[in-house]
Amino acid sequence: MAGTGGKSENRLVTEKIGVVGAGIVGLAVARELAGARGAEVTVLEKEGHVGAHQTGHNSGVVHAGIYYPPGSLKARLCREGVALLKEYCAAHDLPYQEVGKLVVASTRAERPLLAALAERARANGVPDIAELDGLALREIEPHAVGVGAIHSPHTAICDFPAVARRLARDVEELGGSVRLEAPVRAIRERAGKVEVMAGRERLAFDRLVVCGGLGTDAVARMAGAPGEVRIVPFRGEYYALKGAAQDLVRGLIYPVPDPRYPFLGVHLTRRIGGGVLVGPNAVLALAYEGYKWRNLGNFRQILGWPGTLRMARTHWRTGVKEVYGSLAKGAFLEAARRYVPELTAADLERAQGGVRAQAVARDGRLVDDFIVDVHGRVVLVRNAPSPAATSSLAIARHIAGIVPALVR
């Protein structure tokens, strides 16, 4: 377009952006790009409904930002994400309850770790963190025991699948589309476009954002960017409290986490709509969607990554303990009774579990922070485990800042 003095002016044109994955992160990204950027967005999802995997298989906790190293992406995006998610749920009449969380030290040896956790939480800007002694924690959770705790009164629970469904509606109302049963089969960059074969359809985008969760590695390979981390799936199994035992827990009761791992340990979690979960553990799965022990569908890919075996050699004792916990109900009961001693085996029944997409580096290191990188016209979310659901709206803004606007 001709401008003043005969100089051409750049103009923003409508971008066509594809998003792989209709979990809560992918849908939040799609909504952000369609709304804030005015892009024409198409979400590609291999399953028949949104939020089919990690989004639909978690405990529903909205994390306050207690655990994450100050300055990390997790710390920043979790705190931003909490505020955005609370506002979003209020705007769309979605359930959101600040039930509060206790992180409980069960022994004196855990007190220094608990104090460090409280300091970290304050550094991250988590509001109203309080350090409690063993008597004061029982004012919050009358049936809990411990030598001390930190209390996060604003830690909340919500219905993440309901949030995902609302985000999908937003995308469509903004002129985008969410295509279900559209598995990505091939990707190539050609003539300034990203061509994607999804199901039987060939599509062309200016940019592609991959929020593939458990399927991240397969899509990254298609894009020619296998990367230096790989997804190693960890199955998280749960029990639920039955009957009157549910009244023994008011909110959320967590252990002091082992700082060597990005997992938080077996905890007790009140849920939206009622009920209390006990779990999860963290068992190495041998399928990316390995919700059951018998599913070994991806063991070659998972064990073929050098980082998996290096991780196993370093942490085999913990791995054996987690496997035992998976097979023995008594191990879950023992973990829960450490904090709520009134529980009995009759109070626990099996509940739906999930699988966590955890990135592992080549050297066997469990990657703790979120990882997002760019390969040509493809943006890859390499690692987005918990608190990704909490952080999803903030992650979406972060990614929108990474995806360059298309100017011609």
Cα–Cα distance for residue pair 215/238, rounded to 1 Å: 23
Q: What's the whole-number average pLDDT of the chain? A: 92
| Domain region containing 85 | 12-96+158-228+365-408
Q: Is residue 338 part of a domain?
A: no
Backbone torsions φ then ψ of 225, nearest 5 degrees: -135, 65
- The number of distinct structural domains making up the chain is 1
Local confidence band at 405 (pLDDT 50, 70, 90 cut-offs)? low
Local confidence band at 23 (pLDDT 50, 70, 90 cut-offs)? very high
Q: Are 290 and 299 in contact (CB under 8 A)?
A: no
Cα–Cα distance for residue pair 379/288, rounded to 1 Å: 21
Between 126-135, 240-249, 312-321, 362-371, the lowest mean confidence (pLDDT) is in: 312-321
The whole-number average pLDDT for the span 246-252 is 97
The whole-number average pLDDT for the span 17-30 is 98
296 or 190, greater pLDDT: 190
Q: Is residue 187 part of a domain?
A: yes
pLDDT of residue 323: 63
Decide if pLDDT at 9 tops 80: no
The residue written with tokens 């973990």 in the block is 335
Q: Taking the CA of residue 167 as centre, how many other CA atoms within 13 Å lie in the half-sphere pointing to its CB?
A: 32
Please report, as a single letter, which amino acid is at residue 210.
V
Decide if pLDDT at 183 tops 80: yes
- Going 209 to 213 to 219 to 223, the CA torsion angle's sign is positive
The whole-number average pLDDT for the span 23-45 is 97
The residue written with tokens 């894009």 in the block is 223
Q: Is residue 127 part of a domain?
A: no
Local confidence band at 404 (pLDDT 50, 70, 90 cut-offs)? confident
Q: Is residue 254 part of a domain?
A: no
pLDDT digits (tens, 9 = 90+) for 95-105: 999 999 999 99
Decide if pLDDT at 329 tops 60: yes
Q: From 114, 146, 112, 107, select the one nearest 130 (Cα to Cα).
A: 114
Local confidence band at 2 (pLDDT 50, 70, 90 cut-offs)? very low
Q: Is residue 261 part of a domain?
A: no
pLDDT digits (tens, 9 = 90+) for 378-393: 999 999 999 999 999 9
Domain of 86, CATH number, reads 3.50.50.60
Q: Is residue 16 part of a domain?
A: yes
Local confidence band at 1 (pLDDT 50, 70, 90 cut-offs)? very low
- Going 397 to 399 to 401 to 406, the CA torsion angle's sign is negative
pLDDT of residue 319: 65
Q: Is residue 182 part of a domain?
A: yes
The model carries a pTM of 0.93
Contact residues for 93 (Cβ-Cβ < 8 A; gap 6+): none
Q: Are 233 and 358 in contact (CB under 8 A)?
A: yes
pLDDT digits (tens, 9 = 90+) for 225-239: 999 999 999 999 999
The whole-number average pLDDT for the span 136-154 is 98
Decide if pLDDT at 38 tops 60: yes
pLDDT of residue 7: 40
Between 32-41, 266-275, 319-328, the lowest mean confidence (pLDDT) is in: 319-328
Q: Are 369 and 72 in contact (CB under 8 A)?
A: yes
pLDDT of residue 8: 39
The whole-number average pLDDT for the span 169-194 is 97
Local confidence band at 4 (pLDDT 50, 70, 90 cut-offs)? very low
pLDDT digits (tens, 9 = 90+) for 49-82: 999 999 999 999 999 999 999 999 999 999 999 9
The whole-number average pLDDT for the span 208-234 is 96
Q: From 71, 43, 82, select the one nearest 389 (Cα to Cα).
A: 82
Q: Is residue 391 part of a domain?
A: yes
44 or 259, greater pLDDT: 44
Contact residues for 273 (Cβ-Cβ < 8 A; gap 6+): 95, 159
Please report, as a single letter, which amino acid is at residue 251.
G
What's the chain look like in SS3? CECHHHCECCCECCCEEEEECCCHHHHHHHHHHHHCCCCEEEEECCCCCCCCCHHHCCCCEECCCCCCCCCCHHHHHHHHHHHHHHHHHHHCCCCEECCCEEEEECCHHHHHHHHHHHHHHHHCCCCCCEEEEHHHHHHHCCCCCCCEEEEECCCEEECHHHHHHHHHHHHHHCCCEEECCCCEEEEEEECCEEEEEECCEEEEECEEEECCHHHHHHHHHHCCCCCCEEEEEEEEEEEEECHHHHHHCCCEEEECCCCCCCCCCCEEEECCCCCEEEECCCEECCCCCCCCCCCCCCHHHHHHCHHHHHHHHHHHHHHHHHHHHHHCHHHHHHHHHCCCCCCCHHHEEEEEEEEEEEEEECCCCECCCCEEEEECCEEEEEECCCCHHHHHHHHHHHHHHHCCCCEC
